[in-house]
Structure 1
Amino acid sequence: MPSAFDLASLLTLHQIHIDFEQLDKVTTYFGSFQNAVQASDADWQASQILRPSQQKAFFGEQRDFCLQRADEALIWCEQDAQTWLTIYDEAFPENLKNIDKPPPILGVRGDVEWLKQPQIAVVGSRHASQSGLAIAQDFAKYLSTQGLTITSGLALGIDAMAHQGGLLGAGKTIAVVATGLDRIYPAANQHLGRQIASEGAMVSEFPLGVQPKAFHFPQRNRIISGLSVGTLVVEAALKSGSLITARTAMEQGREVFAVPGSIHNPQAKGCHQLIKQGAKLVESGQDIFEEIVDVLPFELSPAGEKNVLSSPKSSQEKMSASLKTSSQKLLEWVEFEPISLDELAVLSKMPVSQIQADLMMLELSGHIEKLSAGRWRRIK
């Protein structure tokens, strides 16, 4: 911990998004954060520590604004289950402390103890298929049941389902967000965000009041992977934030896992690329758990059922009980590759009207999903 450490002064510098490398220079040049905050604009100019955008945000009257926001941040952390965790604190997660360019300060809503727990990052597309969403929740639930904490980014799609799966197990979940912790983004995840803060933790390196901006998300992704012993990508296009998270995980020396999908699914192409680059292909949560169990910092204590993923036999039994005979027959012709109505009519030799009725029944029961151009594919 630097001499004359002062949280209020660090929170003042936090308002201009000062990074850890700059903080080292601050303590070397000014002696303490408090001295730095009180230093003149000329002294700061001479130090050449700040970037031009930071100078603009800190010099002159802007200094008073930063001091005011720091006071508000101190008041914020006086509330229950809200705190600022600095890289100088013993409670700061060790995994994150050791990455390249670690965040100097984290806001936490929830229980900071969750940050000490072994974590698996689960990320993927915001525009995931129904199959991808189900897989994300199943994997997260299984791993959380084994005692692992599920870490993701609170985005729509795969992230949201991963958080929901994590909440169902003993390990719970952590949401790393790209805004200040006084807001939840996206708005559609307001309820989920509050539940995560209540049962797990929400984390951000950004000051209060910060709104979502495009360049914040790649910055956030290094924290998602940095907190975790490994990253699982469920569905991802070739150009997506999930691949940035996976690449960051590789650079940080962490394990990367990917779920394969159909060659016709553009949301699977990113996963296939990762597998070609050395990511481990996984088909169940158990595949991941067995891969990382030797690198976990301590023995986990699974709670509840050992494996929440249904076996093929039990899935088939449930399907048979819930579907009528004609729907079961049609399902035999619907594979995981997309198929059209015309193709189904030729293969099944069933009337088109009956096929349409059974397709609707299968879609409602969650066995298939409808794609564009009048095609369907099986999801379980």
Structure 2
Amino acid sequence: MTQDDLALLRLLAAGGASAPRRRLLERYGSPARAIEAGIAAWRDAGLDAAQVRALEAARPSPHARDWLAVPGQRLLGWHDPDYPALLRRMPAPPLGLFVAGDAGLLWHPCVAVVGTRAPTAGGRDHARGFATALARAGLGVCSGLAAGIDTVAHGAALEAGGATIAVLGSGLDRPYPRANAGLLREVAARGVAVSEHPPGTGARREHFPARNRIIAGLSLGTLVVEAAHRSGALITARLAADAGREVFAIPGSIRNPMARGCHRLLRDGAVLVEEPAEVVAALGPVAQALADALRTRLQAPINAAGHACEAVSNASPRPDPDYQRLWSALGHDPSPMDQLLERTGLTAAQASSMLLLMELDGRVVQAHGRYARKS
């Protein structure tokens, strides 16, 4: 375990608003230097009095230290160049992620496959069929390791030999439900499991909406298979839409209560899909953009004090007319995606892929689903 790991554990334990702690990491480049900067620097970064007191007193728990000592388990911080690029674009991204398995898969183009914990037989079939096809098409399957649709989606991706990402609302040593402990071990061995909660943290009701933002943030798009009118899957879909990601929904019978959430999403503008190929085709341009960014990232030197976007900050200029049109449509005041589409005539998939590259190049900033030129 490194000094940065210990320092990041202290920053996580301080709690409170995450934005000031992210600011502290950005200013000092590493958790250890952020801690060494001292109280005045903490306050200047925006930490409130309670956070300062907590940071002074915080000490890494022996449980977390023991967990991080196991091979294949690590703590990935905001300062780390391996922090997933797509997740950086979400509102309130986690300060750190506990990771079990292949952290490189967090950069793999993936689709969130989510839905009810009590699916119908047809819903299970849909989840299995879509997850299998997406995995075979080279897309990862991201979900929350919950009972029902999540469990089916992870299992199908593994059976197809594809990549899968499990995002937990508890510590990675406390899977919920407990019946999925074996599935969690298999995901960690053949894919990757992540949580923003330190080991030893049990599942709590309030953790799951926050967990859903990570699922949406890691994914190019979100597919809702079955969901009741009030469902956590709808939270994931809303967060994805707010971040400018594509949302897909599978329609069902009007007599199926587990289809009502999907029908609600369709009324609100989600894309109706009947075949996995429709999801693959819609996300192809964005997946290619992420793949290009990853290739650039892997060719760049790894610097522990670096930032993910620095790896592509020297990318070659893009004279393509579509890029120029999108760049001209961007101003210094944040613009929502629908406004950019109206100004440029581009599709959502085209604009999303271009904005991703511009953001990774350091030319564009995104907040709450709105985009602006970086000052």
Q: TM-score, normalised by structure 2?
A: 0.70
In structure 2, the partner of 1:14 is 12
- Distance of 1:255 and 1:42 partners within structure 2: 43
Q: Does 1:189 align with 2:172?
A: no
Residue 14 of structure 2 aligns to a residue in which SS?
coil
Give the aligned partner of residue 204 of structure 1. Answer: 195
Structure-2 change in CA distance of 1:264 and 1:199 (3 Å): same
User: In structure 2, do the counterparts of structure 1 residues 195 and 19 end up closer, same or farther at CA, with 3 Å as the change threshold?
Assistant: farther
Return the offset for 1:74: 3.8
In the alignment, structure 1 residue 23 sits paired with structure 2 residue 21: yes
* Shift of residue 190, structure 1, vs aligned partner: 1.2
Do 1:146 and 1:170's aligned partners in 2 also have CA atoms closer than 8 Å?
no
Which 5+ residue runs of structure 1 have no aligned equivalent? 301-380
Correspondence for 1:230 among 221, 233, 251 = 221
- Equivalent residue, structure 1, for 2:139: 148
Instruction: Work out the CA distance in 2 between the residues paired with 1:298 and 1:100.
Output: 21
User: What's the counterpart of residue 157 of structure 2?
Assistant: 166
| Equivalent pair of 1:147/1:170 in contact (CA under 8 Å) | no
**Residue 6 (structure 1) shift:** 2.9
Query: Is it true that 1:78 corresponds to 2:78 in the alignment?
Result: no
Q: Which residue of structure 1 aligns with residue 170 of structure 2? A: 179
| Shift, 1:247, TM fit | 0.3
Unpaired segments ≥5 residues, structure 2: 292-375
Q: 1:264 and 1:72 mapped to 2: Cα distance?
A: 49
1:239 to 230, 243, 255: 230
Question: Aligned partners of 2:173, 2:117: CA distance in 1, in Å?
Answer: 23
Tell me if 1:283 matches 2:281.
Answer: no
Query: For the residues of structure 2 that align with 1:40 and 1:201, how far apart are their CA atoms?
Result: 35
Partners of 1:268 and 1:195 lie apart in 2 by 30
Map residues 197-346 of structure 1 onto 2, 5 A cutoff.
Answer: 197-297=188-288
Query: Match for 1:127: what amino acid?
Result: A
* Cα shift at 1:273: 0.7
Across the aligned residues of Structure 1 and Structure 2, the Cα RMSD in angstroms comes to: 2.8
**d(CA) in 1 for partners of 2:45, 2:245:** 36
Query: Residues 236 and 269 of structure 1 are in contact (CA less than 8 Å); yes or no, is this contact kept in structure 2?
Result: yes
Structure 1 residue 44: deviation in Å?
A: 7.1
1:102 is matched with: 93
Deviation at 1:210, TM superposition (A): 1.2
Q: State the Cα distance separating 1:279 from its structure 2 match.
A: 0.5
* Separation (CA, whole Å) in 2 of partners of 1:34 and 1:90: 16
Tell me which amino acid in the other structure corresponds to 1:11. L
- AA matched with 2:132: K
Q: How many residues get paired?
A: 289
Q: Cα 1:22–1:42, aligned 2, differ >3 Å: closer, same or farther? A: closer
Displacement of 1:203: 0.5
Residues 178-210 of structure 1 deviation map (CA, whole Å, 9 limit, x = unaligned): 011122111111111111111111100111211
Compute the displacement of 1:23 (Å): 1.0
CA deviation after TM superposition for structure 1 residue 20, in Å: 3.9
Deviation at 1:158, TM superposition (A): 0.6
Cα distance change on mapping 1:47 and 1:222 into 2, 3 Å? closer
Same amino acid, percent of matched pairs: 42
2:125 is the alignment partner of 1:127? no
- Whose Rg is larger? 1
What do residues 87-141 of structure 1 show as CA deviations (whole Å, max 9, x unaligned)? 2212111111121111111111111121111000000001111110111011001
Bigger CA drift: 7-16 or 140-149? Answer: 7-16
Q: 1:79 to 1:247 in 2, by over 3 A?
A: same
- Quick one: structure 1 residues 173 and 47, their matched pair in 2 at CA, closer, same or farther if it must change by over 3 Å? closer
Quick one: distance in 1 between partners of 2:77 and 2:26? 18
Counterpart secondary structure, 1:174: strand
Give 1:236 deviation, angstroms. Answer: 0.7
CA distance in 1, matches of 2:276, 2:203: 32
Structure 1 partner of 2:59: 67
- Tell me how far apart the structure 2 counterparts of residues 184 and 264 of structure 1 sit (CA, whole Å): 33
Report deviation, 1:50: 3.8
Structure 1 pair 288/43, CA: closer, same or farther in 2 (3 Å)?
A: closer
Matches of 2:281 and 2:81, distance apart in 1: 30
Task: Kindly state the Cα deviation for residue 77 of structure 1 after the two structures are TM-superposed.
Answer: 2.2
In 2, Cα distance between the equivalents of 1:242 and 1:263? 19
Give CA-to-partner distance per residue, 1:136-156, whole Å, 9 cap, x none: 011001100111110000000
Shift of 1:293: 1.3
Q: Secondary structure at the match of 1:49?
A: coil
Q: SS of the counterpart of 1:226?
A: helix
Residues 30, 79 of structure 2: 8 Å contact kept: no
Distance 1:258 1:246 in 2: 9
> Normalising by structure 1, what TM-score?
0.69
Q: Alpha-carbon deviation of 1:47?
A: 8.0
Name the CA distance, whole Å, in 1 between partners of 2:170 and 2:145: 11
CA distance in 2, matches of 1:45, 1:112: 32
| Range with bigger deviation, 18-27 or 165-174 | 18-27
